[in-house]
Structure formats: structure tokens, C-alpha cells
Amino acid sequence: MGRINPTLDPAEIVDFRKGQFHDLRAELGHLKTCQTSLLIFSSAGAGIFIGLLRNESGYIHPAYLLLFPLIFLLPLWIIFYEKARSIARIVGFLRVQEKLYMFKSTLAVIGWESAMKKYWSKKDTWDNRILDDHFTIESSKKTATTSIYWFSVYCTFLILIVTCLVLSGIYLPIENFTKIGIIIAVILTLIESFYLLKLQNIGKQKQGIDTQQKKQVKHTNLKIFSKKAIYLSIFFMTVNGIFWILTFFVRENDNSILISQFFPLVIYLMFFTSFVLCVSITSWMFLNLVKGRYSYDLFEKRWQIILGIKIDEDNGVIEAKDWDATLRNISWN
């Protein structure tokens, strides 16, 4: 079970895989070009809006002008790493197919689109990290700076967004006392993020609940993590909202002044809350690409599970394997 029985002869299988290598490597080139375009557009776009600050006769307040770049910076930041996930998925598939090609195996002869259909249909199987014990996975030992390219892009987006937020906060037409409240809330949010999101644990190993199981790699999926990021964003908004409301009661200023600051404060907090959400998701995606569930090693393992094979490079052996049955046996034991 799990084996794909080809109707092609060995020579046709070789030609099929050569054509597939060509097509997928071309797709990788398109994805990387798209990433480069996203980075250039984001940097240039943000630079244009920051440059407009020199125009003192502008009709838009500088605080709001500096928030405009976030409209495209935040979603493009996530899209960039979504493209990176697609790249890692293709690289993992190519690694498996290259080994099948080198060992002249007739197993797992399948087109990319059909492979992706199996990828999603077997999600529950490959997403179970108990099967990691059957593979050698080195990516968990890597650090965030292992991939200079992804790390540099991450820092580039982060610096651009933070620069816009800081400059906008400086120009924001609210009292300095309220700005101090925002700073306090940001610090509390960062502290909460380390506890709630636990980004530093990505890729690390911990002892399984079942003492008969070997160590399992700690992970969650993007859906679960996104919910946590949303909770963190709500926490941020709540802290700032409470602080702003308390200023009505603890300060002797005219409440009309505080009410006039409501609109700029709400606009700024909406953008900053979006930043908290996006930086949480992109940080998780970035670290998982380097050493977690989106690394090349993990995708290579996944594709072996999806295609129903096991590659033993040391002994030069490739065999068909029913990973669903293996998973059931582990669960029963």
C-alpha cells in the first residue's frame, strides 16, 4: 500500500522525471523572482511615503502619511513568507525525486499537481510528528540566522514597518502622556508574546507524554498559531484602550481635549495592532522555514510519507512503505 505503480518503462520514467525537474525548477525561479519583486516594491513604496515628509505643504498629516505604507507592507510581508513556504515544499519534493532518479527507482512516479492532491489528502498522516523518529532531521539544530537571505528579508520588512510606526507615533497629534501609555502597552505586549507564542521553542524537542515514545518535536499548525496571534492583538488593543479610558479619570485636563485625541489614537492603534498580528505570524513562519515544520528537511520527510516510500541513503535502498499502518501501530502501542 502507498506505492504508485507506473505503467511507463524505465526509460520513460527517466524522461518523465527529467521533464518534471525542468518544470519545477522553472517554477522555483518564478517564485524567487516574485519574492524579489515584493521586496523591491515594499522598500521603494515605503521610501516614497517617507520622502513625502519633506513636502511641508502636504494636505495629509505626517502621522497618517507614515501609516499608509503599512497598508501594503504588512500583507506583503506575509505573502513573501507564504511564497517561501511554496519554495520549501517544491524543494522537498525535488530532493525526493532526485534520489529516486539517482537510485533508478520506479516508485513514486507522479506529476506535481497529483502529488499536491495527495499532499492535502494525507495531511493527518504527515502532520503527525511521531513519525519523525523514522527520519534523520537536522534542521531543528539550526538558528534563525542560518538562512542569511530569509533573515535579511525579515529584518528589512521589520525595520521598514517599525520606522513607519515610530515616526508616525512621533508626529501623532496626541499628548505625550498618551504616547507614554502606548510605549508601556508595547512593552507589555512583547512580554506577553514570549509567553503566549513561545517562538523560541520552535524546532526544539521535548519528551513525549507516552514514556514508550521517543522525543517528539514541539509544533503547532498555522491555524492554531494564528488564533494565538489574534488573542495577542486583542490583548494589545485592550491594554491601550483601558489606559486611554483611565486618563479621563486620573487627569485634570479638559475631557474635550482627550476626546479630540480619540480618532488619531484609534487609527494608530489599529495599524499597530495589525503589526502585532503580522509580526507574530511572519516570525512563526520564518523560524519554521529555518528549523521547524517548513524546513527543507521536514518537507523531504513529508513527501516520503505522502508518496508511500522510505529512502535509506546510507544503504542505497528505497522501499515502499505504508506510513498509515506505521502510525496506527505506534498509536496502538
Tell me the pLDDT tens digit for each residue of 186-220.
676 666 556 555 555 555 554 444 433 444 444 55
Tens-place pLDDT, residues 90-101: 999 999 999 999
Give pLDDT, residue 263: 81
Give pLDDT, residue 188: 66
Query: 314 or 304: whose pLDDT is higher?
Result: 304
Q: Whole-model pTM? A: 0.82
φ, ψ at 310 (rounded to 5°)? -135, 125
- 82 closest CA partner among 44, 35, 41, 25: 35
Residue type, 279: V
Cβ–Cβ < 8 Å for 178, 261: yes
Q: Where is 310: in which H helix or E strand?
A: strand 309-312
Give me the helix-helix angle, 112-121 and 296-307, nearest 10°.
90
- 7 closest CA partner among 100, 98, 109: 109
Q: Which residues pair with 115 in a beta bridge?
A: none
Q: Which residues pair with 205 in a beta bridge?
A: 217
Computed from CA positions of residues 217, 218, 224, 230, in that sequence, does the dihedral angle turn out positive or negative?
A: negative
3-state SS class at 288: helix
Q: C-alpha grid cell for residue 281?
A: 505570524
